[in-house]
Chains A and B, each alone.
Chain A
Amino acid sequence: MSETSPESSDNRLGQMALAVVLGLALTGFVVGVRAGPGSSRTSGAVPQAADMPRDLVAKVHGITTAKRYDEIGEQQRGVNAAWRSRLDLVQGTTAKRLPLKAKATHTEVLDAIAKRTENRAFDGAPPVVPHPVQQRGGLACLACHSKGVVLGKGAERRVASVMSHRFMTNCTQCHVEQVSARWGPANWPAESESTFVGLAAATHGPRSFESAPPQMPHAAAMRSACGSCHGPTGPKGLQTSHFDRQSCTQCHTSSAGHDQRYEPGYGPGFPAAP
């Protein structure tokens, strides 16, 4: 038998590598699904190959291991192997990745949440609109709120935040403007105002261990565009330290409890049944 041609061998290696990746992903998914919030995580059986140096694995087992994240961008392969990304030249920086932003201080987090509370009745309520609404048709709001428009600087800086959820047409169904009175009559009497105190926003998501990525402390429903608050136009206390990562939910999971993946609870938890 002639030796397998390099090309087909490459192909087979590729297939095997893919199988490993998918296998790991599947295991990870199952483990992830099983582990509920707060449950301790145990790592699965460690493949023998993982203990070997990576180039040795390739030799002994005849397979290529998946690249680590820190290798991506440094190792090049395939038809574009010779191509070099020189972000440093473009931006005048030596960084290979965008630099990590300094983590927000606790005060900054609290400030950001306090600011956020100003135009919400409770955590989870749709924010009210801090400017007059002259909506005609469904797309008017998108002009500023699709990508997020920043106006002014310093104290004058205003951000039209990016819509945090998938596009829905009738914006003013949930988001209403706030005016004290247009043309009278006399203001509504204060003694007839609601004293409702709403659910407070969480300051931090729980982590399963010190350096683990935090879990979302809020529902992901209606908040699927993370960048709306955690992106570069979000308030400082809520901004992520790593803007260049695009797939947030890869590391930061949402909680089943928050996201109503079950029917709303009934049975125990209700007032005592007769």
Chain B
Amino acid sequence: MTDFSRRSFIKATAMAAATAAAATHLSESEAVAAPATRPAPAGGDGGVAWNKAPCRFCGTGCHVDVAVKGGKVVGVRGSRNAAVNKGLLCVKGYHVGSILYGRDRLTTPLLRVNGKLTPISWDKAIDVMADRVELDPKGFAFYGSGQWTIPEGYAAQKFMKGGLSNNHIDPNARLCMASAVTAFLGVYGVDEPAGCYQDLDEADTIILWGNNPAEMHPILFSRIIDRRSRGEKVELIDLTTRRTRSSDHADHVMIFKPHGDLAIANGIAHLLLKEGTYDKEFVAKHCNFRENPSLKKKSLFGKPMTFEAYKKELEAYTPEKVEELSGVPAAQIRLLAKRFADPKIKITSLWCMGMNQHTRGTAINTLVHGIHLLSGHFGKPGDAPTSLTGQPSACGTAREVGTLAHALPGGRIVKLKPHRDQCEKLWNLPSGRINPKPGYHTVKMWEQFTKEKAKGGDVHTIYVQVTNPGQSLPNLNHLFNDKEGMKDKFLIVSEVYPTATTRLADLVLPAALWVEKNGVFGNSERRTQQWFKMVEPPGQARDDCWQTIAMAKRLYDRGFAGMRDKDGKFLFDVKDDKGKSVPVWDWNHYYDVNVDKWLHEEYRGFTTMKHKDIAPYDEYVKAHGLRWPVVKQKDGSWRETRFRFSEFDDSYVKKGSGIDFYHSKTKDGKAQIWFQPYEPPPEMPDKDYPLWLCTGRVLEHWHTGTMTMRVPELRRAMPHSYVELNPVDARKLGVNNGDKVKIESRRGSVVMPVWIDGRSKTVAGSVFVPFFDERLLINNVTLHLFCPISKEPDYKKCAVRLSKV
């Protein structure tokens, strides 16, 4: 061995050791053989069983390992082999185990008798529910959320649309990402992002559109900014209405006026066209142009327009004009356009509620897709317009199972006969069982519920599962609070804790939570994730899915025709491996068989209808989730898809086409670039209500805080809500930190403590309030006006006034 080769050998050995160490730390390790049982680790956690589950909170879909000892969850750690989070969690994720153990867990069914919630048996509760359905099946509504597991949502969907011939089923997702859905449909003809989280590893420039992932999607944000500490360069551009923790890490912070995002996107397109820097080849090969029939008449698919007409419409959006509309300096608009004009860099756009909770939500979503398509920044790893979700299975349950008033599973819609036929066939229902008329979307459903029957309020009962509308609906005085004292209305709430919703409930059902039941979630990057029950729910708390099936069986037993398929069999005739029916409606037998697996296999039949193919249940048991379409390979294995519509990864793309939008509305494999004009918000600050109000979330609390506020570590970090105030406005009001102010809109008011330049910094003339605190309901103040296409309300902007209390 020469001296040189010896040294190289030592060096190589050291490198290999270092690489191995790094690999165990970071690898996605897809092919590690699984041991039958994990060896009991030496040391303090002997006797602990670790099992995998997706986190219960947001749509990122991190995998956690859950430690169970003595029948209780005792710890949580990030799954190192999970591709989403690679061993890391956020502070909510680390403390997710604590959410099961609040002292006030609901443990018995409660019926309101003489105004007081009184314990009753499950048997009686199921009877009450069946009574309410039989009273008038058409006026019974089901309200769920993206916190439904896929099987739970699927069962609710089948019960309503297949069983009651009633389409009044909608999820909290309507308030959350409906605008993202309508834009994906309008642009690509099929829902959900084309890219995946790998885009965040490969993009050169990442643009946040009204999004604060440092707090709301921390794992994804760290995935971006930790690249810098590894020596990579990644440019972060923050388009925002206030300076947030995400802005702290941004290279460029561009603060825009509410609704200014519409102008900014148009300003970028204007410059790409004017300077000829758009991707001519990509546009010619893969894009058509589209617009709404008119400003007044907007529709999901609009009408075609020519490239010349598109160009002409954009002529007005000069950087100077955009500066006037959005408040963002023309130079920064030029900078954005320059990035999109550069074919050498890769650009990923991220957004969540900022663009979705928007009275022009569908419009701004389509515009951002549009500038990616126009510039050709699409379909390569790192080049992607990516919409994030806020709930753990908003994609999996609300969008894919289609638990929306107009939808059916597998991207089918109730309006189309062929779709209803497909669905009736798979459910073995008599022809015509599914009602062709879309049901009530969320806002409409609650309006009809809180309106007296005599005045046309034709929803008499709402059954709420896995969400908290008494706190999360906008304009609560209009949509929820009126229920109080109404004789002919009945609210059924399946919950884990007393909430703002159970406050007005007539029947409260104690629910099993997270790893107290089997489940499947679907995250923001099309990843379907399965877990098994690990601990028993407390008291008489039971699975939501069981509740639905038990209610269905009670109706079946009473002879309700809709609970029978066309052969007279019960809709949820769950069978074991030997094909024998299992009485799963009896709680004592619910876990005799894996109901999730049975529902999953039935649901699978729908998923191939729009190329959202999911694999057999057992494949998910083995994986940390798989991204659909999951396609069976010649060797019998199942392959997930990271980049949809791109030939190099998506097996459904026509060979040789490079990019193929195979669900194109125009049936030519092309996506639609939309023109959407700037329009001012419906309510703007004026003399009487001079300030903008924006609402949102904070890092420590998830959604309405019912789970996270019970976790001491999280509650102490963020003990109560507040109004974030700019020093200029604070001075005008003569208030300081901690002073109480009344926030008032045309709809309602709430008193909040002031936090000047709190967690984030608002701009003068606007205030921000987080909505997690059930003691300080900001949704008494918010607006229930919504996007005309998606019906998603705007929680991000309305006019308020503040006064010192």
A192 touches B622 (CB 8 A): no
B6 touches A15 (CB 8 A): yes
Decide yes or no whether A213 CB sits under 8 A from chain B: no
B700 touches A267 (CB 8 A): no
Q: A138-B248, A176-B699 given as contacts; is B229 within 8 A of A169 (CB)?
A: yes
Decide yes or no whether A94 CB sits under 8 A from chain B: no
Residues of B within 8 A of A209 (CB): none
B597 to chain A, nearest CB (A): 7
Decide yes or no whether A148 CB sits under 8 A from chain B: no
Interface members, chain B 1-58 (any A CB < 8 Å): 1, 3, 6, 13, 24-25, 29, 32-45, 48-52
Residues of A within 8 A of B753 (CB): 182-185
Q: A15-B1, A170-B218, A193-B103 given as contacts; is B713 within 8 A of A188 (CB)?
A: no
A121 touches B98 (CB 8 A): yes
Decide yes or no whether B776 CB sits under 8 A from chain A: yes
A263 touches B103 (CB 8 A): no
In angstroms, Cα B229 to Cα A169, docked, is: 7
Q: A169-B222, A219-B77 given as contacts; is B91 within 8 A of A175 (CB)?
A: yes
Interface members, chain A 186-234 (any B CB < 8 Å): 186-188, 190-203, 205-206, 215-219, 221-222
Decide yes or no whether A38 CB sits under 8 A from chain B: yes
Contact with A along B88-100 (1 / 0, CB 8 A): 1111001101111
Give the segment of A68-76, A85-93, A96-104, A254-262 that binds chain B. Answer: A254-262
B700 touches A176 (CB 8 A): yes
Decide yes or no whether A268 CB sits under 8 A from chain B: yes
Q: Looking at B103, B498, B592, B719, which has the most chain A CB atoms within 10 Å of its CB?
A: B719
A125 touches B95 (CB 8 A): yes
- Across the interface, A194 reaches (CB within 8 A) one of B76, B102, B218, namely B102
Contact with B along A106-140 (1 / 0, CB 8 A): 00000000000000011111101000000111100
Residues of A within 8 A of B33 (CB): 262
A12 to chain B, nearest CB (A): 10
Decide yes or no whether B214 CB sits under 8 A from chain A: yes
A205 touches B720 (CB 8 A): no
In angstroms, Cα B765 to Cα A194, docked, is: 39
A194 touches B101 (CB 8 A): yes
- Across the interface, B74 reaches (CB within 8 A) one of A122, A175, A218, namely A122
A115 to chain B, nearest CB (A): 16
Decide yes or no whether A151 CB sits under 8 A from chain B: no
Contact with B along A35-51 (1 / 0, CB 8 A): 01110000000000000
In angstroms, Cα B49 to Cα A246, docked, is: 34
A217 to chain B, nearest CB (A): 3
B246 to chain A, nearest CB (A): 9
B32 touches A262 (CB 8 A): yes
Decide yes or no whether A83 CB sits under 8 A from chain B: no
B713 touches A265 (CB 8 A): no
Q: A169-B249, A265-B37, A268-B36 given as contacts; is B737 within 8 A of A183 (CB)?
A: yes
In angstroms, Cα B76 to Cα A145, docked, is: 25
B250 to chain A, nearest CB (A): 10
Contact with B along A146-188 (1 / 0, CB 8 A): 0000000000000000000001111011111111111111111
B38 touches A198 (CB 8 A): no
Q: A173-B221, A183-B753, A274-B594 given as contacts; is B699 within 8 A of A194 (CB)?
A: no
Give the segment of B124-132, B157-165, B704-712 that binds chain A. Answer: B704-712
Closest to B102 in A: A194
- Across the interface, B710 reaches (CB within 8 A) one of A169, A192, A257, A271, namely A192
Closest to B48 in A: A199
Q: A192-B710, A267-B37 given as contacts; is B98 within 8 A of A199 (CB)?
A: no
- Across the interface, B32 reaches (CB within 8 A) one of A36, A176, A263, namely A263
Decide yes or no whether A79 CB sits under 8 A from chain B: no
B711 touches A169 (CB 8 A): no
B755 touches A173 (CB 8 A): no
Q: A15-B1, A188-B715, A269-B38 given as contacts; is B43 within 8 A of A196 (CB)?
A: no
Decide yes or no whether B503 CB sits under 8 A from chain A: no
B90 touches A174 (CB 8 A): yes
In angstroms, Cα B13 to Cα A185, docked, is: 61
Decide yes or no whether B688 CB sits under 8 A from chain A: no
A173 touches B214 (CB 8 A): yes
Decide yes or no whether B554 CB sits under 8 A from chain A: no
Which secondary structure characterizes the binding site on chain A?
A: loop
B248 touches A38 (CB 8 A): no
In angstroms, Cα B34 to Cα A264, docked, is: 8
Q: A173-B218, A176-B91, A193-B102 given as contacts; is B80 within 8 A of A260 (CB)?
A: yes
Interface members, chain A 234-274 (any B CB < 8 Å): 255-271, 273-274
Decide yes or no whether A18 CB sits under 8 A from chain B: yes
Residues of B within 8 A of A202 (CB): 43-45
In angstroms, Cα B773 to Cα A227, docked, is: 40
B138 to chain A, nearest CB (A): 36
Decide yes or no whether B72 CB sits under 8 A from chain A: yes
- Across the interface, A205 reaches (CB within 8 A) one of B42, B88, B225, namely B42
B700 touches A137 (CB 8 A): no
- Across the interface, B221 reaches (CB within 8 A) one of A36, A128, A170, namely A170
A195 touches B103 (CB 8 A): yes
A193 touches B69 (CB 8 A): no
Residues of A within 8 A of B533 (CB): 271
A264 touches B43 (CB 8 A): no
Residues of B within 8 A of A200 (CB): 44
Closest to B1 in A: A15
Residues of B within 8 A of A170 (CB): 214, 218, 221-222, 225-226, 245, 249
A205 touches B75 (CB 8 A): no
A137 touches B67 (CB 8 A): no
A265 touches B35 (CB 8 A): yes
A176 touches B74 (CB 8 A): no
In angstroms, Cα B531 to Cα A271, docked, is: 11
Q: Looking at A126, A168, A192, A218, which has the most chain B CB atoms within 10 Å of its CB?
A: A192
Residues of A within 8 A of B74 (CB): 122, 197-199
A271 touches B48 (CB 8 A): no
Decide yes or no whether B738 CB sits under 8 A from chain A: yes
Closest to B95 in A: A121
Closest to A128 in B: B713
Q: A125-B94, A194-B99 given as contacts; is B36 within 8 A of A36 (CB)?
A: no
- 13 contacting pairs across A/B (C-beta < 8 A): A122-B97, A125-B713, A169-B228, A169-B229, A174-B90, A176-B718, A178-B716, A184-B720, A188-B715, A190-B103, A257-B42, A264-B50, A267-B34
A-B pairs with lowest CB-CB distance, top 8: A202-B44, A217-B43, A257-B41, A183-B738, A176-B717, A265-B38, A199-B75, A196-B98
Additional A-B contact list (9), CB under 8 Å, known A121-B94, A203-B44, A265-B35 = A173-B218, A182-B720, A183-B738, A193-B102, A196-B98, A206-B43, A260-B79, A260-B87, A271-B532
Q: Residues of A at under 8 Å CB distance from B? A: 11, 15, 18, 22, 36-38, 121-126, 128, 135-138, 167-170, 172-188, 190-203, 205-206, 215-219, 221-222, 255-271, 273-274
